[in-house]
């Protein structure tokens, strides 16, 4: 392309007045300044691509995505958290003017206007200038959008209860019970398993029976007389077996 003095423009510095045939010259006409697409250029692209790919692969293996406990649909207190690039939208719908009865405003209208405005930018700002300082509308909107996204993301991170979320996400059932243990067999033959679960992990109806603070005596009492929401008379077997069961449950630790 030729630049500099003597060039004529069509009222717009990006469009030259001179018409040129739209066929690029063959690369052989620029000795030493260009290269063949195949294999030179492609080979280099592929090499760079492969280096990045392997780099990402190593990173993923070195830092696996952290796993949380199994999702529990009955848990209503779970604190959700989208990925960082959606945090600003997430934060927006926390505000009163954009949530509840005004949900539509927060999820569709405000973001719609913002992104729709992007589409309109070339129609609103039609000057030939290219320098940001000479394009107040485009530059202004961009800075505004940037500031808004930055502020909302910051607020979302600040408001999130990181400690509580980590506590919630903990993997609680990291162990498997030994189903051959004598105590477990007694447990499984009683009604207990229906509420407290196959792995003593608990259910929506009852808490887990792992890591309890109860003594065997207390557990025996609970089995006969119930506790809180647990009805009495759940145990139906010999006292000998109940001794073993209580002993077994009292000693059950998750690690
Ligand atoms: C009908 C469902 C049900 C059955 C069957 C049942 N439980 Fe429970 N169990 C519960 C509930 C609900 C609780 C929680 C009580 C509360 O704190 O309000 C509980 C609590 C307990 C606790 C106290 C846990 C803690 O962390 O404090 C023990 C120990 C226990 N059950 C043992 C047993 C044993 C042993 C059996 C079998 C003999 C059994 N349960 C059968 C529902 C049940």
How far, in Å, from the CA of 179 to the mean position of ligand 1? Answer: 19
The pLDDT of residue 199 is: 84
> Tell me, what's the pLDDT at 246?
93
Q: Quote the CA–CA distance of 152 and 91 in Å, as a whole number.
A: 6
Q: What percent of the chain has pLDDT over 70?
A: 95
Atom of ligand 1 nearest to the CA of 205: 12
pLDDT confidence bin for 28, thresholds 50/70/90: confident
71: its two tokens: 């999702």
Whether residue 229 has its Cβ less than 6 Å from ligand 1: yes
Question: How far is Cα 220 from Cα 198, in angstroms, rounded to an integer?
Answer: 20
Which tens digit of pLDDT belongs to each residue from 182-233?
Answer: 999 999 999 999 998 888 888 878 888 888 889 999 999 999 999 998 999 9
Specify the pLDDT at position 175: 60
Mean pLDDT, rounded, for 234-244: 92
| DSSP-derived secondary structure for 62-106 | HSPPPP-PPP-TT---------GGGHHHHHHTTSGGGSGGGHHII
pLDDT number for residue 135: 86
Atom of ligand 1 nearest to the CA of 229: 18
What is the predicted pLDDT for the residue at 74? 80
Residue 175 and residue 41: Cα distance in Å, rounded?
54
Confidence of residue 66 (pLDDT cuts 50, 70, 90): confident
pLDDT at 62 over 80: yes
The pLDDT of residue 113 is above 80: yes
Residue, of 52 and 253, whose pLDDT is higher:
52
252 close to ligand 1 (CB < 6 Angstrom): no
pTM for this prediction: 0.47
Q: List the single range of 69-73, 77-81, 88-92 with lowest mean pLDDT.
A: 69-73
In this predicted model, which residue has the larger pLDDT, 172 or 54? 54
- CB burial readout 99-115, b (16+ within 10 A) else e: eeeeeebbeeebbeebe
Question: Could you report the per-residue pLDDT of 125-180, keeping only the tens digit for each?
Answer: 888 888 988 888 888 888 999 999 999 999 999 999 888 888 888 776 556 788 88
Pairwise CA distance, residues 64 & 140, whole Å: 41
Determine the pLDDT at residue 2: 55
The CB of 208 under 6 Å from ligand 1? The reply is: no
The more confidently predicted of residues 77 and 86 is 86
Residue 58 marked as a ligand binder: no
Q: Provide the pLDDT confidence category of residue 36 given band limits of 50, 70 and 90.
A: confident
């Amino acid at each position: 392309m030729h630049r500099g003095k003597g060039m004529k423009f069509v009222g717009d510095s990006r469009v030259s007045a001179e018409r040129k045939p739209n066929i690029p010259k063959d690369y052989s006409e620029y000795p030493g300044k260009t290269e063949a697409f195949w294999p030179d250029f492609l080979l280099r692209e592929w090499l760079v691509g492969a280096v990045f790919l392997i780099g990402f692969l190593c990173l993923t293996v070195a830092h696996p995505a952290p796993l949380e406990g199994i999702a529990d649909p009955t848990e209503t207190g779970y604190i959700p958290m989208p990925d960082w690039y959606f945090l600003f939208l997430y934060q927006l719908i926390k505000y009163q003017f954009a949530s509840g009865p005004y949900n539509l405003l927060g999820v569709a209208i405000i973001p719609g206007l913002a992104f729709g405005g992007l589409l309109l930018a070339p129609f609103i700002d039609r000057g030939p200038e290219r320098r940001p300082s000479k394009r107040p509308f485009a530059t202004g909107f961009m800075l505004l959008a940037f500031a808004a996204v930055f502020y909302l993301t910051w607020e979302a991170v600040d408001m999130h209860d990181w400690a509580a979320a980590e506590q919630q996400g903990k993997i609680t059932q990291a162990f498997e019970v030994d189903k051959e243990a004598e105590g477990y067999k007694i447990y499984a033959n009683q009604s207990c398993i229906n509420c407290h679960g196959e792995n003593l992990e608990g259910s929506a109806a009852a808490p887990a029976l792992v890591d309890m603070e109860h003594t065997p005596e207390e557990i025996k009492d609970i089995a006969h007389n119930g506790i809180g929401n647990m009805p009495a008379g759940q145990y139906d077997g010999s006292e000998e077996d109940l001794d073993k069961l209580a002993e077994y449950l009292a000693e059950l630790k998750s690690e």
